[in-house]
């Protein structure tokens, strides 16, 4: 059982003892800390927060705790109910709210949940703001309202429709062009919010939809992280239904992966590459992804005459770098598309619409599209951490071992070799060290990952 407190929010497993897992006590404590933070930061009396959740089993319980804690602090709440991370991000500025809370543990299994915290722009808080909330929670420096000054609760279940309308109104999305292509697509909604909103979007775009695991019960039918080893069912169904491709989202619908018509993974790393290829063909500009993302985005960006920049891992870091470089599109190699014309947040709805436009204009098969991009292969491994392991010491030792190579230490340790790279970093969301590698073949990427993991194992003993 685990409770992870970080600058990006609080995340943990349900049940157990307060302070060691995500219990009702912890949910109230951190919701109150967020409310206290808003009171400090926003110079007005009447505050408003938008809240939404994914479909995981603990969602309604945690949402009731967070909502009523904020009401108890005199803060008005707009409750979107079952929603998605990008939908809440869009709703915050539209509601002229002072912040937002998304109750989701993203790709983590069903026993997890989390509080993701937003600012008034609908963007994730930065490191300094996150640290302040952690301090407020530790000090329990809260001031609840008297009975005549409690917040007001408003339910609004229209924002999935509003979100879809926002996507349809993007300048590069042409509904008729997509509809004329007659696409047939399989959608795996992992029995969460994506099972509702993704079929809605696709039908609006004139796409024939085959639904797989689209009942939002919160009982995930497979590990919800959209990786190849978890997606056997949709890969088989795409081939059986003779679909043009498959779409997979995670429980809160900010990550996006495609399945080619032959049942093979398009590769979540190439989700951003393909969407950027389409955007850059229409809008000249720059791109950003994180240090753990494929080199293929750099190559595609340079082909279109733009400049690629790498940021530290984490959506807030990518967004900051996108703003600094005036990037026209960016994101993360985990299938997260950030398109500023919509909003500065990863959005599977936006990514799906951009990909459909690319396929509608290019024609051909998804497998052929993949072959048109530079061929890189990644291995994404993780090392489970046990109490007492000094991760910072391990990373320092690995940096020393490879100090003659091209090193980047702004976020863990990235070692760039001539034809491959490895990125080692401590996760903000799980008790693990992530080990990502990329090389010209899958065998060489896997071999590099194994070699590095063996080296870490030898120095951590």
d(CA 333, CA 277): 14
Q: Calculate the alpha carbon distances from 432 to 44, 407, 435, 452 in Å.
A: 41, 21, 9, 15
Using CB atoms within 10 A of its CB, is residue 172 exposed (0-12), middle (13-18) or buried (19+)?
Answer: middle
Sign of torsion over alpha carbons 213, 216, 222, 228: positive
The β-bridge partners of 424 are 413, 435
Q: Calculate the alpha carbon distances from 369 to 158, 300, 312, 364, 385 in Å.
A: 36, 13, 29, 8, 39
d(CA 380, CA 375): 16
Tokens of 55: 């479909």
- In this structure, what is the dihedral angle of CA atoms 455, 409, 428, 220, given to the nearest 10 degrees? -70
The answer to whether the beta carbons of residues 22 and 114 sit under 8 Å apart is yes
The answer to whether the beta carbons of residues 300 and 277 sit under 8 Å apart is yes
Which residue in the list 58, 83, 106, 379 is annotated as catalytic? 106
The answer to whether the beta carbons of residues 53 and 46 sit under 8 Å apart is no
Q: Where are the strands (E) in 189-326, listed by range?
A: 208-212, 245-249, 256-259, 286-290, 308-311
Q: Which of 419, 300, 440 is nearest to 376 (CA)?
A: 440
d(CA 105, CA 404): 39
d(CA 129, CA 186): 40
Is 106 a residue of the active site?
Answer: yes
Edge-to-edge strands, sheet with 256-259: 208-212, 184-188, 245-249, 256-259
Contacts of 349 (CB under 8 A, 6+ apart): 84, 86, 163, 164, 167, 197, 198, 201, 253
User: What HEC string does 122-147 produce?
Assistant: CCECCHHHHHHHHHHHHHCCCCCCCH
What values do phi and psi take at 315, rounded to 5? -55, -40
Catalytic residues: 106
């Amino acid at each position: 059982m685990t409770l992870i407190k970080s600058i990006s929010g609080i995340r943990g497993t349900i049940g157990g003892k307060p302070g060691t897992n995500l219990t009702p006590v912890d949910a109230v404590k951190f919701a109150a800390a967020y409310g206290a933070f808003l009171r400090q930061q926003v110079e007005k009396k009447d505050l408003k927060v938008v809240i939404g959740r994914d479909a995981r089993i603990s969602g309604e319980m945690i949402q009731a705790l967070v909502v009523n804690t904020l009401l108890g602090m005199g803060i008005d709440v707009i409750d979107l109910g079952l929603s998605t991370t990008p939908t809440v991000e869009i709703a915050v500025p539209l509601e002229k709210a002072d912040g937002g809370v998304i109750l989701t543990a993203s790709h983590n299994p069903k026993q997890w949940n989390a509080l993701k915290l937003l600012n008034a722009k609908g963007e994730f808080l930065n490191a300094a703001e996150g640290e302040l909330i952690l301090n407020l929670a530790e000090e329990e420096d809260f001031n609840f309202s008297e009975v005549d000054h409690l917040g007001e609760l408003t339910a609004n279940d229209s924002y999935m429709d509003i979100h879809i309308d926002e996507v349809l109104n993007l300048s590069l999305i042409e509904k008729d062009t997509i509809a004329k292509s007659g696409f047939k697509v399989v959608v795996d909604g992992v029995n969460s919010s994506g099972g509702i909103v993704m079929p809605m979007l696709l039908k609006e775009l004139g796409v024939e939809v085959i639904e797989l695991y689209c009942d939002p019960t919160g009982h995930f039918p497979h590990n919800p992280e959209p990786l190849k080893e978890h997606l056997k069912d949709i890969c088989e169904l795409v081939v059986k239904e003779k679909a043009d491709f498959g779409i997979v989202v995670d429980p809160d619908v900010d990550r996006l992966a495609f399945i080619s018509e032959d049942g093979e993974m398009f590769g979540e790393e190439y989700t951003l590459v393909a969407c950027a290829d389409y955007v850059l063909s229409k809008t000249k500009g720059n791109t950003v992804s994180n240090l753990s993302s494929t080199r293929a985005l750099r190559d595609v960006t340079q082909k279109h005459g733009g400049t690629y920049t790498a940021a530290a891992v984490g959506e807030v870091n990518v967004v900051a770098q996108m703003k600094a470089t005036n990037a026209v599109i960016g994101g993360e190699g985990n299938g997260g598309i950030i398109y500023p014309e919509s909003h500065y947040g990863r959005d599977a709805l936006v990514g799906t619409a951009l990909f459909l436009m690319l396929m509608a204009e290019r024609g051909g098969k998804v497998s052929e599209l993949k072959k048109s991009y530079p061929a890189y292969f990644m291995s994404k491994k993780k090392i489970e951490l046990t109490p007492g392991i000094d991760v910072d010491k391990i990373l320092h030792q690995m940096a020393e071992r490879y100090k003659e190579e091209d090193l980047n230490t702004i976020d863990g340790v990235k070692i760039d070799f001539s034809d491959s790279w490895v990125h080692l970093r401590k996760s903000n969301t799980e008790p693990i060290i992530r080990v990502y590698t990329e090389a010209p073949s899958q065998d060489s990427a896997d071999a590099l990952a194994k070699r590095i993991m063996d080296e870490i194992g030898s120095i951590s003993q």
